Structure 1
């Protein structure tokens, strides 16, 4: 029996349609928030994915894979609406658009969450396009507000996408940052979120004063930042197959480490984040590593 979730991830699950060099399309189950949930569960943390998927072939695959990942299925909803699709026309450079004007993800209903679900949960995660899509975004923000008032910790990965380039997203971004205890952001996201700002990291810190920040720098590794302290972690040396899902793996690895070994120093959590990302990069697609795999890579100490 699946343990009650200590970590719940709110946001989108979707199907990526990736254009291949021969012009064919390959359908892959994905979504940033769904990936984070799968990573944490694979790392041994009781996790729930709180989102809504369709009842068609795409939604059924997502639902089945959610169950297969060992996630707490009480949090995952299915509705008879169209699937959310991401059409990835190019991976290098990234180019994509979304299809889903009245899709299943927008019909997630927080009132259908399990009774007393907040009693067990320690950390709630939010992020990516779910926070830029109406009417879902304000519902998720309200969940974050209520959880914060109940003393739960909030994790946030803005994960910038084109949909966020609109005025309506800015107030939500600021409020969620103010509620957050853990913020993961890539150097690219930072530049997009605060375009034209000469000191985007300082701005982020000012908007999220209580948060620990995980700044990912691609092949240059990552940094943990809090109250003027900065810890640096080089990227672990692996044969890179692709970087799909690396950011989600680092987020899931970070939070899983915090929940599994809460007394460990910040550098231990940073190493888990980096190792989870590296192991994802070493496999095709959004690979979710096990705790033993992560610890084995950390033990090698092999970094760039």
Structure 2
């Protein structure tokens, strides 16, 4: 079996979402930022794996089954005899949550157990999410990213800010930005990561850490922009009826990686439009539903052209 050329490394988890606080009825949904990116890449037809560890119980079973259904390469998914990583969403409007994962399975991921020669096959490896804020997993992933970069593998990075990314995360942020070929960040990410309302200044600081990288900067309904060493472009989102925005950011970075690798003859403005269409397509269904290539192309045809900024 051929090894995948696209890998997302990090966390897969279970969201436990409150449905009725009075009766304590909860709903479990599979998720995780980097795992969602892997599923989105696979849905676009790319040979993809999620490299991470999940529990050997009912929660891990659901993640394994969903990974198999998505067409991910299961040789990269490890199952140590440890507890699950859970995101407890105890309020939905607005969302309020906390994580439960002391010594959980995700922390025991071991890159040395991945299939041999996988790095020679890999073209892109994606990092991000809370996996880079949880030790000892974070240190393992930082070392892996540096190793891959030295081997010529391209790195994408989406910090996907969460409350546990406090001052202790600052060094990790700067280190990953310096390694990355592509960085995806939202206005909310910038506000949280830099603990500042000066969003423009924070983005300028981020770019200064690695001027050679390509930056996808998303701003929700206001569209997104793509910034590189030779210029910047902005595009609006297509007019859609949003069902659920969960997973839209993960779909947008996956769509960008698809466009960069499969539509390499096109310019940056077209890569941006495809990325935005991918994020918008994810909003057409409930939950973190990976969009199909057909739906992305349908939205792309309805989008305005990107403009230089």
What does residue 245 of structure 1 align with?
Answer: 247
What does residue 96 of structure 1 align with?
Answer: 97
Equivalent residues of 1:221, 1:274 under 8 A apart: yes
What does residue 186 of structure 1 align with?
Answer: 186
CA distances 1:97-140 after superposition (whole Å, capped 9, x unpaired): 00010111001001101101111111111001000001000000
Name the CA distance, whole Å, in 2 between partners of 1:90 and 1:186: 23
Return 55-64 or 84-93, whichever deviates more: 84-93
Is 1:261 the counterpart of 2:263 in the alignment? yes
* RMSD over equivalenced CA pairs, Å: 1.5
Equivalent residues of 1:45, 1:259 under 8 A apart: no
Return 257-266 or 11-20, whichever deviates more: 257-266
- Secondary structure of the residue aligned to 1:96 is strand
Counterparts of residues 102-181 of structure 1 (less than 5 Å): 102-167=103-168, 169-181=169-181
Among residues 205, 209, 216, which one is paired with 2:211 in the alignment?
Answer: 209
Return 192-201 or 42-51, whichever deviates more: 192-201
Equivalent residues of 2:237, 2:303 under 8 A apart: no
What does residue 28 of structure 1 align with?
Answer: 29
Equivalent residues of 1:156, 1:180 under 8 A apart: yes
What does residue 286 of structure 1 align with?
Answer: 288
1:51 Cα offset (Å) = 0.5
Name the CA distance, whole Å, in 1 between partners of 2:110 and 2:246: 29
Equivalent residues of 1:11, 1:130 under 8 A apart: yes
Runs of at least 5 residues in structure 2 that lack an aligned partner in the other structure: none
Deviating above 3 A after TM superposition, structure 1's stretches of 4 or more consecutive aligned residues are none
Scaled by the length of structure 1, what TM-score is found?
0.95
CA distances 1:193-233 after superposition (whole Å, capped 9, x unpaired): 11237410110001122210000000111110112622111
- Secondary structure of the residue aligned to 1:79 is coil
1:92 Cα offset (Å) = 2.4
Return 178-187 or 273-282, whichever deviates more: 273-282
Is 1:5 the counterpart of 2:13 in the alignment? no
Is 1:75 the counterpart of 2:90 in the alignment? no
What does residue 39 of structure 2 align with?
Answer: 38
